[in-house]
Structure 1
């Protein structure tokens, strides 16, 4: 019996060892598959960050009443905002202006149409809500001209709105990621009233300016050079004092100009609207909103800043997140900055803006909004937005009235 038990034990050991080896091999294969999947997802996320993409629908048209000139939209945090906005769609009209909210429920929002829509009009149900309001320069009813700015990437289209009276004050408007210079048309009337010539610029890969060899965003690390060429154009046209206003990613570009521009002697201040101050804060926030696992976010950021991943991210060179961190480089700033940001931005969190204001209270003045969402502060409260900018400029002697008195 003892020999029988011993023989049975000896026979079972190889089987258990084989089963263990098989389990370990299966686990290794599974872990390898998980790691491979996380790596692939991370690279896709990284490419998405830097790849220019067309505007995507973010709401739906539920009803269009041409008799009453109203439109009912699917409810989102943006479509329920008070104020004046725009709506990109397709069909009879590619863009319509929207007025105040007339009624709302848990699912829908009815708004007044400010663009007349005829009874026979047909609009696609898929639509994109916008803070632009104006989408063409002619709508401002101010004199303007088209210009081409000679940047290293090629000729970049721009609009110039001359000041009403002769003035050396210029404002260079820098739009954000995934938009065009039309985003900044809202600001032109205010700056025009304060004696500014407005220069609305384009930059590489924005759909209007030339495409770079890579065709991807550098998140401000290279785009600032195209805007710097625009400041050079302004200098040759008579500008002696330049305010740079950046919207969203345009804020990151404006900060790079403040830190790197050969024309820094012309820059007298920055106005930053819903700005990207630190890309890592923004990308981490957006990843959480998309419910991406933390390892995916970490690997995506690592890929974007690493030389080895350049062929896969297609950026041409690593993204220098440290150089793009406005808070970390706050001690290098020299010109006054006006920050305008909503604490419920929903796309670019205001955390880094608050940190920048805390780091340089001697230079930075911050106006915090609520409810206004991303780059929609003008739409939500035009009076407060305009008063904040006008007062900030007047306090620093950066208006036509002061310039005229000094002359």
Structure 2
């Protein structure tokens, strides 16, 4: 049955089984499930700008201050402030003072654009917005995916370790710049980094129907990036994923054609349990549990079109499933204060595979903003993990892992 026919069948079934108000409620649940499913796989065209600049305060002989009001304005640590539709970028330091209707933060720099009262934007954890800002040699290139060429950056350390690479994968709705915080830690270990765009990014082909596969479809782009690194001489590749990029890395490391080259994974705020995650976001919108379950079923059956032909295997994007297939060490940075991707999935994976999974919990940090709260600690643990990774014993033989 075609997807549209399957939905029509659900509606007709509701008509025959229900009457009056019950019918209205049944159809309403169906529409709610459809809306939830579509929201999960539809890329955001224009990112939200929930933060407003209230004032800029120049201080003679000291750093300027910026007043902010809105979501994430008062987060501890240091952040990027992206405004003017992505054309403007400023770096925010620590909170200096929290007032009744605004927060005053140090204004470290304004790299692009001009900040003034009423400027609207968003607070992100990126910090770096260009790979050259890291101070390493950068090559702008493309790599081949099943959908066409996608943009990428190769960032080379000052003293490279022979044939050792990493692939960096950003999260849902972000850009490759999100991952640059992780590049420096690995560069100090001598690891060459391949920072990729993937399907539905501005520098990459659109995915199936222009929608996400919540990490499952995107994992094939990660696998293609591993192949590109191998073509350039890599003998081992560390996967470094953020949020949904963490899902894609887990799938690539456990199912990908080139998984024999993967020596380990580093994940920040990863989405490890998509069933629980979708239910969490539905509950946050006060949607009944039945609607969340219906939305998940619609995605899994392909009745709501996502980025995977035939439906997205949500049931496979689960800690128990990943735990059964893991064969390399994993470092996870997570926070119980993450309000976007709860840490429970990551914690469960660590419980299931204590032999392979190292979990670093960062208190007081929001989603993919752990580095921003404790850069020194985050980078120290990341470096130590990367340096200790053993060479994959199955190198060169994909069949050895089947």
What RMSD over aligned residues (CA atoms) do the two structures have, in Å? 2.3
Shift in Å, 1:121 = 4.9
- In the alignment, structure 2 segments of 5+ residues that lack a partner are 1-17, 392-402
Specify the alignment match of 2:50 in structure 1: 58
Task: Name the CA distance, whole Å, in 1 between partners of 2:113 and 2:147.
Answer: 46
Specify the alignment match of 2:356 in structure 1: 363
Task: Name the CA distance, whole Å, in 1 between partners of 2:390 and 2:31.
Answer: 53
Specify the alignment match of 2:397 in structure 1: none
Q: Is the 8 A contact 1:218 1:319 kept in 2?
A: yes
Q: Is the 8 A contact 1:143 1:162 kept in 2?
A: yes
Query: Once the two structures are superposed, what CA deviation does each residue of 1:347-404 show, in whole Å capped at 9, x if it has no partner?
Result: 0000011110010111111111111111111111001101111122233357xxxxxx
Q: Report matched runs for 1:188-267 at 5 Å.
A: 188-267=183-262
Q: Of 160, 163, 178, which aligns to 2:157?
A: 163
Shift in Å, 1:106 = 4.2
Structure 1's 127 and 142: CA in aligned 2 closer, same or farther, altered over 3 A? same
Task: Name the CA distance, whole Å, in 2 between partners of 1:255 and 1:91.
Answer: 32
Number of residues of Structure 1 aligned to a counterpart in Structure 2 = 370
Specify the alignment match of 2:33 in structure 1: 42
Q: Is the 8 A contact 1:91 1:124 kept in 2?
A: no
Other structure's SS at 1:305 match? helix
Q: Of 284, 289, 295, which aligns to 2:290?
A: 295
Q: Is the 8 A contact 1:174 1:247 kept in 2?
A: yes
Q: Report matched runs for 1:111-150 at 5 Å.
A: 111-116=105-110, 121-122=115-116, 124-150=118-144
Shift in Å, 1:118 = 10
Q: Is the 8 A contact 1:92 1:123 kept in 2?
A: no
Q: Report matched runs for 1:25-104 at 5 Å.
A: 28-53=19-44, 54-66=46-58, 69-76=64-71, 78-90=72-84, 94-104=88-98
Q: Is the 8 A contact 2:279 2:292 kept in 1?
A: yes
Other structure's SS at 1:232 match? helix
Query: Once the two structures are superposed, what CA deviation does each residue of 1:299-331 show, in whole Å capped at 9, x if it has no partner?
Result: 111111124x145x6864311012222333312
Structure 1's 264 and 131: CA in aligned 2 closer, same or farther, altered over 3 A? same
Task: Name the CA distance, whole Å, in 2 between partners of 1:199 and 1:119.
Answer: 29
Bigger Rg over Cα: 1
Other structure's SS at 1:265 match? helix
Q: Is the 8 A contact 2:38 2:304 kept in 1?
A: no
Q: Which stretch shifts more, 32-41 or 277-286? A: 32-41
Structure 1's 260 and 126: CA in aligned 2 closer, same or farther, altered over 3 A? same
Specify the alignment match of 2:329 in structure 1: 336
Task: Name the CA distance, whole Å, in 2 between partners of 1:92 and 1:256.
Answer: 31
Query: Once the two structures are superposed, what CA deviation does each residue of 1:106-131 show, in whole Å capped at 9, x if it has no partner?
Result: 43211111124899754653221100
